């Protein structure tokens, strides 16, 4: 029996020599120290031995067991260290290599221009009011004084959402930021219906029109609307504020002029031009030799629109305007095709 134990020890230790990985080591442990290993069977058989033999064999078996266990532990440690050394070598890091440049993103030119406009307006005391892109016919048109069949609607071709039973008030994508005027006035008026507070806000955002996409027209574009409502607001306030805006935006010496125009939601209405900043007013291809560039539409808020917003037109007056940041960029950088803005061509975007 003692010979057998020596034999078990010798074979086990020998086979351990060739083991170099975790899986084989585990298999070795099961085979040599597991419940059905030859060594464990010696333990199980101890009871059948004679009284004299039992202590010697038992002690010898225990010694073999301890020897195998510590040999196993030593091997496990060695395998672990070898794996670590290998991974250090394989994943060696050359800290002297130059780094890879990270490609830095940037804001879209429209966003940059929107922010420029809003920064200037913020300096002038305007708060930003954001309104929804999905509107109803009522707010986009009717409450802004476009009656259902008014020819002025032809100015803006509309993306309507087809919905059963909403023929009187279809859902649509806003064609301008002006419907935000109604939401804003109603929200302000609700704070104090008897004496609504004054309003001075800028309403930025995307607008949508069902247009043929060409170099000059797109189906989506941004606008920044302005709205000022209060007591004794006059056309002089409109002219002063917008001329000041033009100087802050286009330069200290930028001159402006106002031309009479028509919008259903303002009366009187005007368009503002700035002196061409490309040729300084002398006449060039950008201003089509006129010396002036059209920048925005504006006017005194129509009494019906004030009323629809909850402001009594006999006590309150106001002015509003709408302008396009993409148009401003096109003029400033002489971009001759509006499709660049949503074309996602990096060669265009990386220039801003």
User: Which residue ranges make up the site for ligand DAH (CB under 6 A)?
Assistant: 176, 178, 225, 263, 266, 297-299, 320-322
CB of 209 to ligand DAH, least distance (A): 9
* Alpha carbon distance 71, 9 (integer Å): 11
In whole angstroms, how close is the CB of 202 to ligand DAH at the nearest point?
11
Total length of the chain: 352
Bridge-based pairing state of the strands 160-161 and 171-173:
antiparallel
Of 325, 332, 334, the closest CA to residue 108 belongs to: 325
135 phi and psi angles, rounded to 5 deg = -125, 175
Task: State how far the Cα of 101 lies from the Cα of 346, in Å rounded to an integer.
Answer: 18
Instruction: Give yes or no for a contact between 121 and 246, defined as CB atoms under 8 angstroms apart.
Output: no
Which residues, at least 6 apart from 101, have a Cβ–Cβ distance to it below 8 Å?
Answer: none
Nearer to ligand DAH, 40 or 155 (CB): 155
Q: How far is the CB of 248 from ligand DAH (least distance, A)?
A: 19
To the nearest whole angstrom, how small is the minimum distance from the Cβ of residue 294 to ligand DAH? 11
Preceding amide of 268 cis, omega within 30: yes
CA-to-CA distance for 142 and 123, rounded, in angstroms? 33
Is the Cβ of residue 111 or residue 156 nearer to ligand DAH in the bound state? 156
Angstrom distance (rounded) from CA 291 to CA 279: 7
- Measured CA to CA, the distance from residue 274 to residue 248 in angstroms comes to 12
Taking the least distance from each CB to ligand DAH, the nearer of 240 and 251 is 240
Nearer to ligand DAH, 16 or 295 (CB): 295
Nearer Cβ to ligand DAH, position 64 or 204?
204
User: How far is 259 from 227, CA to CA, in rounded Å?
Assistant: 19
Residue whose Cβ sits closest to ligand DAH = 322
Residue 279: CB minimum distance to ligand DAH, A: 26
Q: Residue 340: which of 107, 108, 105, 106 has the closest Cα?
A: 108
CB of 189 to ligand DAH, least distance (A): 18
Report, in Å, the least distance between residue 181 CB and ligand DAH.
Answer: 7
Nearer to ligand DAH, 113 or 266 (CB): 266
Closer CB to ligand DAH, 9 or 326, in the complex: 326
Determine the Cα–Cα distance for residues 157 and 317; give it in Å rounded to an integer.
Answer: 30
């Amino acid at each position: 029996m003692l010979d057998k134990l020596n034999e078990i020890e010798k074979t086990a230790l020998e086979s351990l020599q060739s083991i170099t990985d975790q899986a084989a080591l585990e298999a070795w442990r099961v085979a040599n120290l597991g419940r059905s290993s030859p060594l464990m069977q010696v333990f199980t058989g101890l009871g059948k031995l004679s009284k004299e033999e039992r202590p010697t064999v038992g002690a010898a078996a225990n010694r073999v067991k301890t020897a195998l266990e510590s040999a196993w532990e030593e091997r496990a440690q060695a395998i672990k260290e070898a794996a670590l050394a290998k991974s250090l070598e394989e994943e060696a890091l050359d800290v002297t290599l130059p780094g890879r440049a990270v490609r830095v993103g940037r804001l879209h030119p429209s966003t940059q221009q929107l922010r420029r406009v809003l920064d200037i307006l913020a300096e002038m005391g305007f708060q930003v009011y954001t309104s929804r892109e999905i509107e109803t016919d009522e707010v986009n048109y009717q409450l802004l004084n476009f009656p259902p069949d008014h020819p002025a609607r032809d100015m803006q071709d509309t993306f309507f959402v087809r919905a059963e039973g909403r023929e009187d008030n279809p859902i649509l994508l806003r064609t301008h930021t002006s419907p935000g005027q109604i939401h804003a006035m109603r929200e302000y008026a609700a704070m104090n219906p008897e004496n609504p507070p004054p309003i001075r806000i800028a309403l930025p955002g995307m607008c949508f029109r069902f247009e043929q996409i060409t170099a000059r027209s797109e189906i989506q574009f941004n606008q920044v609307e302005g709205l000022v409502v209060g007591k004794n607001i006059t056309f002089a306030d409109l002219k002063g504020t917008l001329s000041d805006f033009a100087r802050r935006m286009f330069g200290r010496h930028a001159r402006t002029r106002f031309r009479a125009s028509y919008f259903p939601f303002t009366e009187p209405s005007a368009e503002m031009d700035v002196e061409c900043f490309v040729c300084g007013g002398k006449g060039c291809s950008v201003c089509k030799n006129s010396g002036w560039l059209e920048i925005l539409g504006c006017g005194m808020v129509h009494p019906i629109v004030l009323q629809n917003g909850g402001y009594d037109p006999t006590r309150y007056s106001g002015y509003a305007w709408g302008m396009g940041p993409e148009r401003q960029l096109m003029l400033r950088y002489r971009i001759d095709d509006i499709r660049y803005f949503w074309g996602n061509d990096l060669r265009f975007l990386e220039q801003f």
